[in-house]
Structure 1
């Protein structure tokens, strides 16, 4: 195996890190399996409580504990035997972080209260001016955002109104075309059935179609809309 050399004859094995990554991982896997096997044999043969913790160079964690114990119990027995607290440093660090978080929380609550106009007695002139400037800057940002929202909504409503006007105009034109076509057919049909139309002087009227147009009614101020369309003879 690369990384392990042997001198000729009777000599010591040279131990050093295996440079090749693949060979190093293969060696680690094999040696780890051998250690776990030895730990299990030691547990059975000697009724020992064994705990193995291993972390590879790729941060892969492996552990083994005897069936009669667990990792937590082993740590507690280790602390009792050595009279050390392996969690004390971690506990002190967590307590320090907790104190910092409490201070930050208190400071933020105080700043929020001051922005609401409370807890101002302990502030001097400079602090009051700084607070006033911060509030004005915040108001400027809020107003700018509000104006942007209003402008966007206004443009959207304008587009909707324009679209509604176009559809309204198209419907009016369509209705006018349909009404003109129906009355044109009615007049021609009546002339063909009852003979030629005569005017008051007895002269035969010209066979010309009557023209009609649709005129929108006046706005209804009470309902806010429009009355029915009026049919006018052109």
Structure 2
């Protein structure tokens, strides 16, 4: 089953038109090269895209300038050099004047539109034009306000995020300070307890050397014996 006939007309979709141009251009360049090689033909091909991009092909070893000069000689026309007015025709002068006139009119129209949007010169503007201008200004004002509110909303959201981050940092700093304070208090308490235990250890030898203390008097570990002494009759000096 063969391919259906494609209707040749301008492709309205920009993406499809660009893709088709790229594909067809590559095929055209390939066919041009094949024609030049197979048939020993001298070919000069110039293609400009819609965006002004240049694509060219010239049969080697010739240059595009040589091909254009040969074309001008064959057609009996003269192409003036760039920047030279010697070969310029009356048509070229007319085109230059027309371009200058259009530039001047465009500049005047831009100034007039600017003045109208500013409200400086409205004396020659009709009622219908004023309504259209008012409607356009309202649309522009709505767009400006929408953009302004969008920027304000973004700034508010950024400030809220910054506030949350700062609150989180403050809480972390508070917990860090509290943990350090608790740690320092624990260290001070340990130091005081260690000093108390050291004082008790230093006083312990003295208490061992002097065991008598308190309300009762004790003579240490010395033995204390009570003996009953009786008078012996054999002691002459102790009789009567």
Structure with the higher helix share, 1 or 2: 2
TM-score normalised by L of structure 1: 0.44
Q: Which has the larger radius of gyration?
A: 2
More RCO (CA 8 Å, sep 6+):
1
TM-score normalised by L of structure 2: 0.43
